[in-house]
């Protein structure tokens, strides 16, 4: 299993707000993990994986 990172930590590393990161993940604009809704629930879930985050940072030129 890959290491998971919090939304807040991933947003800091990508220089954006957590809300923007959630929006981008939900709309498919950034692929750094999984997101969705569980049946019968109103709130969504977001999982950010370290390996995918590091690849996105490299693609964007962020160290």
Work out the average pLDDT over 26-42: 94
Domains of the chain: which residue ranges?
4-60
Q: Mean pLDDT over residues 21-41, rounded?
A: 95
Report the predicted TM-score, pTM, of the whole model to 2 decimal places.
0.87
Give pLDDT, residue 63: 83
Asked if 47 contacts 38 with a C-beta cutoff of 8 angstroms, the reply is no
The answer to whether residue 5 scores a pLDDT higher than 90 is yes
**How does the average pLDDT of the chain come out, rounded?**
94
Mean pLDDT of 11-24: 97
User: From residue 7, how far is each of 4, 19, 40, 55 by CA, in Å?
Assistant: 9, 9, 23, 16
Q: What is the mean pLDDT of residues 3-30?
A: 96
């Amino acid at each position: 299993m890959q290491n998971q990172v919090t939304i807040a930590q991933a947003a800091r590393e990508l220089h954006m707000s957590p809300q923007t990161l959630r929006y981008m993940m939900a709309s498919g604009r950034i692929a750094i993990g999984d997101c969705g809704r569980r049946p019968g629930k109103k709130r969504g879930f977001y999982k950010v994986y370290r390996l995918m985050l590091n690849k996105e940072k490299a693609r964007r030129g962020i160290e």
